[in-house]
A and B are shown apart, each in its own frame.
Chain A
Amino acid sequence: MTPPPGRVDGPDKVTGAARYAADQRVPGLTHAVLVQSTIARGRITRIDTAAAEAAPGVLAVCTHENMPRFAHRPTSWLPPHAQSTVPLQEPDIWYGGQHVAVVVADTLERAHEAARLVRVDYDAETPTIGLRENLGRAYTPPDGTPGALQLVRGDPEAGLAAADARIEAEYTTAVNHHNPIEPSATLAVWEGENLTLYESTQSITYTREVVAEMLGVPAERVRVVTPFLGGGFGSKGFVWPHTYIVAAVARQLRRPVRLVLTRAQMSTSCGHRPASVQRLRAGATRDGRLTGLTHHIISHSATRDLIHFNPVASTQAVYTCPGLRVSTQVVEVDMGTTMATRPPSGPANEALEMALDELSWELGMDPVALRLANYAASEPGATNPETRFLRECYELGAERFGWPRSRPEPGSMREGETLVGWGMAGSYHRWHGMRAQAAVEIGTDGRAIVRSGTQDIGTGTYTIMTEIAAEALGMRPASVRPRLGDTRYPPGPTSSGSTTAATVGVAVREAGRAAREKVTALAVADPRSPLYGAAAGEVGAADDRLFLTARPRRGETYRQIMERHGAPVHASGSADLGTPAPSGAGSYGAAFAEVRVSAVTGEVRVSRMVSALDVGRVLNAATARSQAIGGMIWGIGMALTEHTLVDRRLGRIVTANLAGYLVPVEADVPDLDVIFVDRPDPHANALGARGMGEVAGTGTAAAIANAVYHATGHRVRHLPITPDLVLAAGEAAATE
């Protein structure tokens, strides 16, 4: 496969020519600003919009008192609705930051000013906030609760009792937010009965479905356009209320309306990763074979939308263990709906991998050897076949990192005030194959357009579609133009859960091959073609040209054939990788980290990191590496800096901006080393490629946490590991 010289959308992005949802130029545009609840639980007793309505330039102020009823009311959490609560319909407040009014004005500044003038009186109740503060309310949710899992394999208690060495520990992880660089945006344009919605979404298909349902219009009348996306990470995966609110207000006003959420509103309008408290017990024989493993995880959930959004995947899928129990519980809190956050199974994976590190020290065993001692060639108990190259990840990663044959004692590597430590952990993500369609059109100029109603969320879908179509057609990448992000194209899947490249790629390849066959058929049937009379199977394609495989000089270009034909050729392709995904459809890896910890201040910096990944065949080395280093940086954030803090009494998020919620900056990120095993997985799909967006975000945080232990000799069991926790762990050890 010949990769294109770079990202095909790169020049447009770096020159500013790429227009995102909110950048579209629409005549007569008006501007919406949301007013949000300042309490977390209670009721609106009075809402006074007089001053806002009288403010200059104001076109509409909509509240629960005057907003038309939506055509649908979800009764429980059911995707693609991101939440069941429909704002602006009743006075009840279920979470802080719930939309209570939307103001539309002729300029953005005037809309903001008018929004400030909306006065809301509440009858506030004391909210329930905080996971650790409310553990007494933890309960096992009913079967079928999304993300919840109660699994027993063998006899874990007997296994633990029979172990030569065992550990038991509690790990906690913080609330996290997605914080994509592009805030969520909606621009609604009605033309008669037809709506065009420019939307910042990971799924134009879901957006169309939900907006049509909420507004009570046929889906065919809703067109959703997402040419570019500045990241989503789960926050734009399902459809949040602001999208259909804007569409409804624009219909009422008969004017185009644009809404861009503020950074603070992003904290309460499009989900978050719930906090977790996890209790793990692990036991093993002297030679490191696991005998018993229990993993109990408690996460918070919105009261109205019961979900366990810290799914457990690695514990039951990656290692062999005769006695296993996984159990999940929830604590209901008065916060907005929780949501998948890159990578959704990260917190559970990191806790497991920290526990295995503790077990390795308990056993006096190398942590890579411990994992190899429990190596599973495929998911225990799963029936579908699987091809894993995880062993290769351990080997390649350890070699590149220079993983020692035996680790120096914890706390023993010191340079001045700096303590140095090494840690490793396993990476795993269960990806989701979905359904996708694609179409290829070859024009009379011999160039191809490939279309699929998917999104490029920044991961390189434009580039990968181009590359796969070019290969299937036998064209140069420059002869293929990709089109995506429009519901007028054949439907593509959501860009979530590491699904897009592996699913859309299959459909694109099928469409490309079908188009090539059609053009081949034209040539061999045409007496004017040098290929006339050849069997289709004898014709090859490369570099924009069809030729006889046995006599490559005999042939002609796509352009010559298509010019003679005088009309475009169309072909389509589809992929159905099954939804929900079969168990065992995983991508794998091993992460290795070196940290430097100040013995004076407890500050941790990552100085080296290697991630070795098995994602099946790598479709494009450049975009794959970009995805991988992005995931590793997410891991640094989860490990060291990122946490959302919520005021327990007010129920308000206090870190609701990028000065309070700390994503890693350049100075936090060392040179990142990524290795791909890059071997096709014949069980994954026709391309041999698996999902890869999420897997690199797992393992890195645990590798860093394990390295902090190695550096200091003290275990911090909470993520993120802030300096105060490092100091506290040292002090706790000193007073023991």
Chain B
Amino acid sequence: MRPFAYAQATSAADAVAVAGRDPSAAFLAGGTELLNLMRDGLAAPGLVVDVNAVPAKGISFGEEVIRIGALARMAEVAREPRVRDRLPVLSQALLAGASAQVRNAASVGGNLMQRTRCWYFRDAAMPCNTRVPGSGCPAIGGENRWHAILGGSDACIKVHPSDLAVALTALDATVVTHDRRIPITEFYRLPGSTPHVETALRPGELIVAVEIPAAGAGFRSGYRKVRDRASFEFALVSVAVSLDLDGGTVRQARIALGGVAPRPWRALAAENAVRGRRLTPDVLRAAGEAAVEGAAPREHNAFKVELVRRTVADVLERVGGGR
């Protein structure tokens, strides 16, 4: 680990001002991600700005929006009774992530800023276009069982690891920074030819909250995560669904996929396939099919195509009340 300077900030403005002094500065909240990256030589900030004293905690339920402070811990949000009751997809996604110990320490803002678990990215000795632009992507012709089937490019087929971000995509959330608001669907960037640019954040920009439209609390929602191990493991495929139902008919649907793309993947075609319809077996099947429209599987991850079809249909059916 390289030497670095450490500073504590007590307000968002303070944090941004301090971080502005060093273009390589990184914000530290729970530390469950940043410290691992630093130890493994994958991040080397010259300045670490501890933001834990910034007043960006807690959850508030307003008339228009539900606001979750960026420093709220994963466990705290997951166990909040109103979240469990009104936003089950959010609580379920949080509890499907990491381990109890990590959830007690990790913050909501930090969760959104997780780097990919692509094993080529995570090994500093390997080429990786995200880590070292232009060095190549060995995942494309290599061990890509985990990698993207949607949204990848010739430069990068990483997968975004956050469960929370998938749920927030299904809830139409907005990421609030110290000076602006970014819809979650615009927050993450697809790799294209610049895989090292992963989010819309500017250097030194601090996430202070996440806001969810209060209307979402009236919808039915759910999350399912498919994985190789029963706990403490990232998704092979995950599906978050939020349904605005009129009797048995879908008025509006938001469907987001995890484990399949470099960002939480909003499955617009699947949403279109169920909008205005009853969730009959044919419609469920069509939604699953639509969710993988444009999928480009690689040597070892073609199974994800079928897994998405099945899981989308299953979660829609469960949330829609079919089972």
Known A-B contacts: A264-B123, A650-B142, A665-B233. Give 13 more (CB < 8 A): A38-B125, A113-B1, A605-B230, A647-B126, A650-B138, A654-B120, A659-B122, A662-B228, A667-B229, A667-B230, A723-B228, A723-B303, A727-B310
Binary interface encoding of chain A residues 81-120 relative to chain B, with 1 for a CB under 8 A from any of its CBs, else 0 = 0000000000000000000000000000100110010000
A647-B143, A654-B123 are contacts. A723–B307 as well, Cβ < 8 Å? Answer: yes
**Does B230 contact A113, Cβ atoms closer than 8 Å?**
no
Within 8 A of B (CB), among A683-736: 722-724, 727-728, 731
Binary interface encoding of chain A residues 614-652 relative to chain B, with 1 for a CB under 8 A from any of its CBs, else 0 = 000000000000000000000000001100011111101
Binary interface encoding of chain B residues 213-243 relative to chain A, with 1 for a CB under 8 A from any of its CBs, else 0 = 0000000000000111111111011000000
A659-B117, A662-B233 are contacts. A601–B307 as well, Cβ < 8 Å? Answer: yes
- Tell me, yes or no, whether B314 is within 8 Å of chain A by CB: yes
Report whether over half of chain B's contact residues are helix, strand or loop; otherwise say mixed.
Answer: loop
A-B contact pairs, 27 of them (CB 8 A): A109-B1, A112-B1, A113-B1, A417-B314, A600-B311, A601-B310, A601-B311, A601-B314, A641-B229, A647-B126, A647-B143, A650-B126, A652-B125, A654-B123, A654-B143, A659-B117, A659-B122, A659-B234, A660-B122, A662-B229, A664-B229, A665-B229, A667-B230, A723-B236, A724-B236, A727-B306, A727-B307
Binary interface encoding of chain B residues 112-144 relative to chain A, with 1 for a CB under 8 A from any of its CBs, else 0 = 000001011011011000000000001001110
Instruction: Name the B residues within 8 Å of A655 (CB-CB).
Output: 119
Complex alpha-carbon distance, A646 and B230, angstroms: 24
Contact of B227 among A112, A417, A603 (CB under 8 A): A603
Q: Give min CB distance, A601 to chain B, whole Å.
A: 4
Complex alpha-carbon distance, A605 and B122, angstroms: 29
A647-B138, A665-B229 are contacts. A600–B314 as well, Cβ < 8 Å? Answer: yes
Report whether over half of chain A's contact residues are helix, strand or loop; otherwise say mixed.
Answer: loop
Instruction: Name the A residues within 8 Å of B123 (CB-CB).
Output: 264, 652, 654, 656
Complex alpha-carbon distance, A724 and B228, angstroms: 9
The residue of chain A having its C-beta at the shortest distance from the C-beta of B237 within the complex is A601
Instruction: Name the A residues within 8 Å of B307 (CB-CB).
Output: 601-602, 723-724, 727
The residue of chain B having its C-beta at the shortest distance from the C-beta of A650 within the complex is B138
- Tell me, yes or no, whether A668 is within 8 Å of chain B by CB: yes
Instruction: Name the B residues within 8 Å of A143 (CB-CB).
Output: none
- Tell me, yes or no, whether B277 is within 8 Å of chain A by CB: no
- Tell me, yes or no, whether B196 is within 8 Å of chain A by CB: no
The residue of chain B having its C-beta at the shortest distance from the C-beta of A417 within the complex is B314
- Tell me, yes or no, whether B23 is within 8 Å of chain A by CB: no
The residue of chain A having its C-beta at the shortest distance from the C-beta of B1 within the complex is A109
- Tell me, yes or no, whether B41 is within 8 Å of chain A by CB: yes
Instruction: Name the A residues within 8 Å of B99 (CB-CB).
Output: 665
Instruction: Name the B residues within 8 Å of A415 (CB-CB).
Output: none
Complex alpha-carbon distance, A605 and B230, angstroms: 8
- Tell me, yes or no, whether B145 is within 8 Å of chain A by CB: yes
Interface size on A, residues (CB 8 A): 40
Instruction: Name the B residues within 8 Å of A668 (CB-CB).
Output: 229-231
Instruction: Name the B residues within 8 Å of A600 (CB-CB).
Output: 310-311, 314
**Does B122 contact A657, Cβ atoms closer than 8 Å?**
yes
- Tell me, yes or no, whether A666 is within 8 Å of chain B by CB: yes
Residues of A within 8 A of B (CB): 38, 109, 112-113, 116, 264, 416-417, 600-603, 605, 640-641, 645-650, 652, 654-657, 659-660, 662, 664-668, 722-724, 727-728, 731
Complex alpha-carbon distance, A509 and B231, angstroms: 45
**Does A724 contact B2, Cβ atoms closer than 8 Å?**
no
Q: Give min CB distance, A649 to chain B, whole Å.
A: 7
Instruction: Name the B residues within 8 Å of A664 (CB-CB).
Output: 229
Instruction: Name the A residues within 8 Å of B237 (CB-CB).
Output: 601
**Does B231 contact A601, Cβ atoms closer than 8 Å?**
no
The residue of chain B having its C-beta at the shortest distance from the C-beta of A726 within the complex is B303
Best-buried of B126, B142, B228, B310 by chain A (most CB within 10 Å): B228
Instruction: Name the A residues within 8 Å of B233 (CB-CB).
Output: 662, 665
Complex alpha-carbon distance, A364 and B141, angstroms: 45
**Does B230 contact A601, Cβ atoms closer than 8 Å?**
no
Instruction: Name the B residues within 8 Å of A416 (CB-CB).
Output: 323
Q: Give min CB distance, B126 to chain A, whole Å.
A: 7
Complex alpha-carbon distance, A728 and B300, angstroms: 12
Q: Give min CB distance, B120 to chain A, whole Å.
A: 7
The residue of chain B having its C-beta at the shortest distance from the C-beta of A115 within the complex is B41
A112-B1, A113-B2 are contacts. A649–B141 as well, Cβ < 8 Å? Answer: yes
Complex alpha-carbon distance, A649 and B126, angstroms: 12
The residue of chain B having its C-beta at the shortest distance from the C-beta of A263 within the complex is B40
Instruction: Name the A residues within 8 Å of B138 (CB-CB).
Output: 647, 649-650
Complex alpha-carbon distance, A641 and B138, angstroms: 24
Complex alpha-carbon distance, A727 and B304, angstroms: 10
Contact of B119 among A116, A660, A723 (CB under 8 A): A660
Complex alpha-carbon distance, A2 and B122, angstroms: 52
**Does B122 contact A645, Cβ atoms closer than 8 Å?**
no
Q: Give min CB distance, B304 to chain A, whole Å.
A: 8
A109-B1, A668-B231 are contacts. A654–B314 as well, Cβ < 8 Å? Answer: no
**Does A654 contact B142, Cβ atoms closer than 8 Å?**
yes
The residue of chain A having its C-beta at the shortest distance from the C-beta of B315 within the complex is A600
Instruction: Name the B residues within 8 Å of A652 (CB-CB).
Output: 123, 125-126
Complex alpha-carbon distance, A640 and B230, angstroms: 10
**Does A645 contact B143, Cβ atoms closer than 8 Å?**
yes
Contact of A665 among B119, B231, B311, B323 (CB under 8 A): B231
Complex alpha-carbon distance, A116 and B2, angstroms: 10
Complex alpha-carbon distance, A116 and B119, angstroms: 19
Within 8 A of A (CB), among B136-182: 138, 141-143, 145
Q: Give min CB distance, A267 to chain B, whole Å.
A: 10
Complex alpha-carbon distance, A647 and B126, angstroms: 10
**Does B142 contact A648, Cβ atoms closer than 8 Å?**
yes
Q: Give min CB distance, A265 to chain B, whole Å.
A: 11
Complex alpha-carbon distance, A727 and B237, angstroms: 14
Q: Give min CB distance, A450 to chain B, whole Å.
A: 39
Instruction: Name the B residues within 8 Å of A112 (CB-CB).
Output: 1
Instruction: Name the B residues within 8 Å of A641 (CB-CB).
Output: 228-229
Contact of B226 among A649, A657, A723 (CB under 8 A): A723
Complex alpha-carbon distance, A593 and B122, angstroms: 36
Complex alpha-carbon distance, A605 and B231, angstroms: 11
Complex alpha-carbon distance, A629 and B143, angstroms: 33
The residue of chain A having its C-beta at the shortest distance from the C-beta of B41 within the complex is A116
Q: Give min CB distance, A130 to chain B, whole Å.
A: 11
The residue of chain A having its C-beta at the shortest distance from the C-beta of B306 within the complex is A727
Complex alpha-carbon distance, A81 and B229, angstroms: 36
Instruction: Name the B residues within 8 Å of A656 (CB-CB).
Output: 119, 123
The residue of chain A having its C-beta at the shortest distance from the C-beta of B313 within the complex is A600
Within 8 A of A (CB), among B1-54: 1-3, 41
Complex alpha-carbon distance, A664 and B2, angstroms: 34
